[in-house]
Amino acid sequence: MSRTAVFEASTSYFLSPIADFLADPSITEIMINRHDQIYVERGGKIYPTQARFESEDALISAINNVAQWVGREVSREQPILDARLPDGSRVNVILPPSARGGVCMTIRKFSPGGLKMADLLQYQSITEEAQEFLKICVELHKNMVISGGTGTGKTSLLGAMTEAIPEVERIVVIEDTSELKLRQTHSVYLEVQKPDEYGQGSVTIRELFVASLRMRPDRIIVGEVRGGEALDMIQSMLSGHSGSLTTVHANTPRDAMIRLETLSLMSDVQIPVYVARTQVASAIEIVVQLTRFTADGARKITRITEVEPIDEKNEYRFRDLFVYRRPGGQPDAAPQLEWTGERPSFAGDLYEHGFADRVDKTSAIWGKPGD
């Protein structure tokens, strides 16, 4: 029996109280607040369950089983564990005393096939026009940021957007915890490594990003920017590595730019604020904003925005291309993602690259050659 098979068998035993949730494809997240309080997320909504572990010791035994698999130690001295189950599901653990109410464990389940753009259409998270527009932007090698809060589906949208990347391109994917699985065969996957119990062997996103630049990538996809690697990414975009895709935690396109600016300033390279702002505005071309609606748990694209050069006051400027709103301002109409009537400043690129045949539902958005 292989090591993976042994671990899967032991995991099934130790996690038996939540086995049904792990097997249920409609459940996306399992939240264990303590051994006798377990919630699940289904369809974007959170529900309490009757499931429970026999005791806190039983839950800790399950956690130790996961920690042993990934070669990590979790204890009162090292109370936080990030790991991955054999199926790719992400596991986060926090032990007391850091978790005051008891042992916490959160499992974000992994979808083997990942969501596709067709799925997002089915869930009404995007319209056909917006889908086609984003697909063309990816093909045009535009640098794009997916912005949203926790649980809005940023990684899912990121994976769906990669469908538009041509098969011939070499793609380097960098993630804190591996989630993305691209259809393109010429893809290289790099993953952050946490230090071992002796503090050795760590590899950061920034180190991986710098290394990836030497791997002759056509595209670099960063699962989430959260530190000083933002500066390296921004500067690589400005130096010819176009078509990069990433995600960031932010509630608006403006917040996303400020977040990237702040992260760039966290680098050990000292640069003035106005330089960081200018570089961010020059590098990022499109921000796709995601929102999770608490009323029904729906996750939707609520804004697709072009980032314009900063103004004379060194402030960010934006051009909203799609906005989630009531069509025509009708108070009784259901909100939807609607084209604002604005054309992207790079509309001419469509014809320069010979991509006019890609246009079906977005001809008004792109205009005609010379418009």
In this prediction, residue 335 has a pLDDT band, given cuts at 50, 70 and 90, of confident
pLDDT band of 329, cuts 50, 70, 90: low
Q: What's residue 55's pLDDT?
A: 94
138 or 87, higher pLDDT: 138
* Domain finish residue from 108, 134, 169: 108
Q: Establish if 28 belongs to a structural domain.
A: yes
Lowest mean pLDDT among 263-267, 291-295, 306-310, 311-315: 291-295
Asked if 233 and 172 touch (Cβ cutoff 8 Å), the reply is: no
CA dihedral 11, 16, 22, 23 (to 10 degrees): 110
Residues of 7-28 as b/e, b for ≥16 C-beta within 10 angstroms?
A: bbeebeebbebbeebbeeeebb
Examine the domain organization and report whether 40 and 133 are in the same domain: no
Whole-number Cα distances in Å, 281 to 38, 131, 146, 160, 320? 43, 24, 15, 25, 15
Higher pLDDT, 15 or 295: 15
Q: Judge if 160 and 193 occupy the same domain.
A: yes
Helix (H) or strand (E) holding 323: strand 317-325
- The answer to whether residues 249 and 160 belong to one domain is yes
List the beta bridge partners of residue 115.
Answer: none
**103 and 123, same domain (yes or no):** no
> Has residue 371 been placed in a domain?
no
| Residues 216 and 126 both lie in one domain | yes
What is the model's pLDDT at position 39? 97
Is the model more confident about 136 or about 206? 136
Report the first-to-last Cα separation within the chain, whole angstroms.
Answer: 65
Please indicate, yes or no, whether residues 60 and 164 belong to a single structural domain of this protein. Answer: no
**Sign (positive or negative) of CA dihedral 55, 14, 104, 70:** positive
Instruction: Report the CATH number that the domain containing residue 151 is assigned in CATH.
Output: 3.40.50.300
Q: How many domains does the chain have?
A: 2
- pLDDT of 68 reads 84
Residue 263, token pair as written in the block: 């992260």
Query: Residue 30 pairs with which residues in a beta bridge?
Result: 40, 107
Do residues 166 and 192 both lie within one domain? yes
The rounded Cα 16 to chain-centroid distance in angstroms is: 30
Res 83: pLDDT: 83
Question: Which pLDDT score, from 0 to 100, does residue 142 have?
Answer: 97
| Same domain, yes or no: 80 and 141 | no
Mean of the per-residue pLDDT values of the chain: 90
Of the ranges 77-81, 112-116, 253-257, the best mean pLDDT one = 253-257
Both 304 and 194 in one domain: the answer is yes
pLDDT at 195: 77
pLDDT per residue as tens digits for the range 61-96:
999 988 887 777 888 888 998 888 877 788 999 999
Domain edge (last residue) among 108, 132, 167: 108
CA–CA dist 28, 42 (Å, integer): 6
Cα gap 114→203, rounded to integer Å: 26
pLDDT at 112: 65
> For 95-106, how does the pLDDT look when each residue is reduced to its tens digit (9 = 90+)?
999 999 999 999
Same-domain status, 84 and 167: no
Regarding whether 79 and 183 lie in a shared domain, the answer is no
pLDDT given for residue 154 in this prediction: 93
- Domain termination residue (choose one: 108, 133, 151): 108
Mean pLDDT in residue range 133-149: 97
Q: Does residue 258 lie in a domain region?
A: yes
pTM, full prediction:
0.87
Q: Does the pLDDT at position 204 exceed 70? A: yes
Q: Which domain CATH number covers 66?
A: 3.30.450.90
Mean pLDDT of all residues in 109-113: 73
Using one digit for the tens of pLDDT, what is the confidence trace for 154-192? 999 999 999 999 999 999 999 987 788 898 999 999 988
Contact between 274 and 261 (Cβ < 8 Å): no
Q: Are residues 150 and 34 in the same domain?
A: no
3-state secondary structure of 141: coil
Residue 322 lies in domain: 117-366
